[in-house]
Amino acid sequence: MLLIVESGQSFSRDDATNQIAQCLNYIIGQGGDAPPSECCNGVRALVSSVPTTPDRRDVCECLKGAVAAFPTIKDDLGNSLFKKYGVSVEFSISKDINCQT
């Protein structure tokens, strides 16, 4: 499933978390050595849907809140997920990230 959001258009927490839902088993350490290809598609779609700094801050806050519900998130896996796909964003998937910076 791909979500396309027009530049500058806000989206909900559900939109952001749905984009990375296929990554959950991987970032909690139960998905093996590599996330599934669906995870890659979701990560790339998510990043392409947040072109502005306010958009990126919003999605960062959404993901931060979503992962707080999963105490078993492996910080190293969440922190490296975007880099694993060669996607450059200023945030990672972590409950401790400061999304305003």
This prediction has a pTM of 0.73
- Token pair of 78 as six digits: 């969440």
How far apart are the C-alpha atoms of 67 and 54, rounded to whole Å?
A: 20
Choice between 89 and 11, residue whose per-residue pLDDT is larger: 89
Mean pLDDT within 68-79: 81
Query: If residue 64 lies in a helix (H) or strand (E), which one and from where to where?
Result: helix 53-68
Q: Are 16 and 29 a contacting pair, CB within 8 Å? A: no
pLDDT number for residue 10: 55
Domain annotation for the chain: domains and CATH numbers = 14-84 (1.10.110.10)
Picking from 1-5, 34-38, 65-69, which range would have the lowest pLDDT averaged per residue?
Answer: 1-5
pLDDT number for residue 11: 56
